[in-house]
Amino acid sequence: MNAAAVLDALVVAPHPDDAELALGGTIARLIEAGWRVGVVDLTTGEPTPLGSPEIRARETQAATEVLGLHWRENLHLVNRSLVPDLEARRLLAGVFRRTRPRWVFAPHWLDAHPDHTAASRLVEDARFWAKLSKSDLPGEPHYPQRLWYYYSLHLRRVPDPLLVVDITPHWETKRRAVTSYHSQFVAPYPQGEFLRRVETQARFWGQMIGAQFGEPLTTREVLGVCKLDGLV
């Protein structure tokens, strides 16, 4: 799982579980379509009240298998103190050059969690660095074609997405991936409160596009389309 692999899409997650929460259905949909998809977790996500590095590692492996990811790696930056400094930028730019994704997914730049906003800036900076020639970064220069931003559950505001992905056929896969993090989302909520919140939000975004479940995304860049028959 940690061997270098060329990917079509790479999700950058501040903590293990962020990719599953925000993009579990989109990831499953891309993989079903034949894309090679990976996740780079920036931190271990620990400490947490009911977790430990060992528990979180087992849960991450379980979620990885549920989604069928082609690659996953953890950069072991400091949880709760994530900073988009030069060393972190170097590490992530190296990942971009090794995995060479066409699309990268990052946390939205507005968020209540400082690690998420730091990760958003870090992705933008590392994307630029990854294309530089005459550098000491590993691998050949690479510039991901598209940078998407996903939304987390921390900021108490209604997102204003550019598009919503229909994840209805993949809702069950997302649910299983999220519940793989038992110490984070199941054990602390014996009545299933957290999972109901995740489902409610997915149903809300699905309803916005006439589907059962959806996941919102946005980008700061202009999009072009060749065909309109994929719009719903």
CA angle 217, 212, 192 (to 5 degrees): 90
pLDDT at 132: 97
pLDDT at 136: 92
pLDDT at 220: 96
d(C-alpha 104, C-alpha 149), whole Å: 9
227, part of any domain: no
| Beta-strand relationship, 146-150 and 214-218 | antiparallel
Predicted model pTM: 0.96
230, part of any domain: no
147, part of any domain: yes
Q: Are 212 and 206 in contact (CB under 8 A)?
A: yes
What CATH number is attached to the domain comprising 71?
A: 3.40.50.10320
Per-residue pLDDT of the chain (232 residues), as tens digits, is 455 589 999 999 999 999 999 999 999 999 999 999 999 999 999 999 999 999 999 999 999 999 999 999 999 999 999 999 999 999 999 999 999 999 999 999 999 999 999 999 999 999 999 999 999 999 999 999 999 999 988 878 889 999 999 999 999 999 999 999 999 999 999 899 999 999 999 999 999 999 999 999 999 999 998 888 888 8
pLDDT at 198: 96
Which residues neighbour 102 within 8 Å (Cβ) at sequence distance 6 or greater?
8, 9, 144, 145, 146
Q: Are 125 and 88 in contact (CB under 8 A)?
A: no
229, part of any domain: no
Among 144, 148, 114, CA closest to 129: 144
pLDDT at 207: 98
CA angle 159, 124, 30 (to 5 degrees): 65
In the sheet that holds 103-107, the strands lie side by side as 71-77, 37-43, 9-13, 103-107, 146-150, 214-218, 163-166
Count how many domains the chain has: 1
DSSP string of 11-76? EEESSTTHHHHHHHHHHHHHHHTT--EEEEEEE-----TT--HHHHHHHHHHHHHHHT-SEEEEEE
d(C-alpha 51, C-alpha 57), whole Å: 10
**Residue 61 structural domain:** 9-218
2, part of any domain: no
